[in-house]
Structures are given as structure tokens and as C-alpha cells.
Amino acid sequence: MNGPPRSAIVDPRSLRAAAAVAFLSALLGVVGGVSLPVAVGIPLGGVAIALVVRSRPGPVAPEYGLLPALAGTGAVAALATPSLLVGALAGAAGLALLLWNAESPRDLVRGSDPFPGLLVPGLCLAVALLAAVALPAGRAAVGAAGVTLVVAFAIVVWALGEAWRDPEVPAKAI
């Protein structure tokens, strides 16, 4: 028999994605100065609950099953002391959550490539980190300008992506 039986509770692809989310979230907490039991326990608990919820039958389980993992990562990020490395780890954990969301436990094979869905968030993370490094800290106006820069960049990338994906429209003859 090739691979695990179909009656397995947790899909191996989900385990890999969950492990990435748990590792990045725990590392975020450790680097951010959160106590070790909290930094490791909250993400692991959230990921474990998310794995169980996503393995349940029903239409809403795959869609809303990631909420415990998202809450665990968010709680650790809120408790962490802000720094550039903590921001980068939080962004990487968010991208790992998006990759996990692209995996459906019901699909036997991946239906489409999830990486285009990571393009805009990944580019926005890169711009946000570059803005955090390049712009001077300590002023609210600079922070607002950085956020505006990231949002404007996301809108431009999204619009260009939509323009490239839409099929050509034939011109009407006069």
C-alpha cells in the first residue's frame, strides 16, 4: 500500500504545514522574550486544535479550522517584544498559515499552485520590513507613511496581477 490509509485522521501535508506554523510561532515567542512554556505551549496548542478541527467532516471545518492556530500565533506575537526580527518571524508565520490554508484535507492532490496567493502578502512583508529598516523610528507620521506605502504597493501588485490574469477582450468592430 502506498502512503497512509485514507481513513487517517490527519493528512501528512497538513502535518508539514502545521509543523512550520508551530515552529515559526514558537521561535517568534522565544526571540520576542516570551517565557518558554508560553512561547511553545500556545502555538502548539493552537496548531493541535486546528489539526483536529480541520480533520472533521463538514463544509466549515476546513475553512474555519485554522482559527485556533491563527489565535495562538497572534497571542504569541502580541506578547513578544517588538523588534525587526520578531516582525520578520511574525510575517513568516503568517505566510506559513496562508500556505496551510491552501492545503485542503479533503483534496487528494493539490488543486492549484498556492504560491501566487503568497505573492502579494510576501511582497508586502518585504516592503514593510524594508520600510522598518530604512525609515527613521520614533515618529507616528513615519509609521503611518510606512503603512500607507505597504497598502499602496499591495493595491498596485494586486491590480497588475488581475490585469495579467484576465483574458483578452476582443474589440468590437465599428
More confident residue, 159 or 5: 159
Under 8 Å between Cβ of 100 and 21: yes
Nearest alpha carbon to residue 57 among 6, 119, 122, 109: 6
Residue 24 has a pLDDT of 93
Q: How wide is the angle at C-alpha 92 spanned by C-alphas 90 and 94, nearest 5°?
A: 70
The grid coordinates listed for 23 are: 515552529
Model confidence at 165: pLDDT above 70: no
Count Cβ atoms below 10 Å from residue 32 Cβ, excluding itself: 21
Q: Which residues of 70-96 are buried (b: 16+ CB within 10 A; e: fewer)?
A: bbbbbbbbebbeeeeebbbbbbbbbbb
Sign of CA dihedral 43, 49, 53, 54: positive
Tens of pLDDT along 30-66?
Answer: 999 999 999 999 999 999 999 888 888 777 777 788 8
Q: What is the mean pLDDT of residues 83-90?
A: 87
E-assigned strands of the chain? Answer: none
Separation CA 10–CA 100 (nearest Å): 13
Separation CA 146–CA 143 (nearest Å): 5
Give me the chain's average pLDDT, please. 78
Under 8 Å between Cβ of 29 and 43: yes
Element containing residue 131 per DSSP (H, E): helix 116-134
Residue 17 has a pLDDT of 86
Q: Find the range with the poorest average confidence among 22-26, 28-32, 34-38, 170-174.
A: 170-174
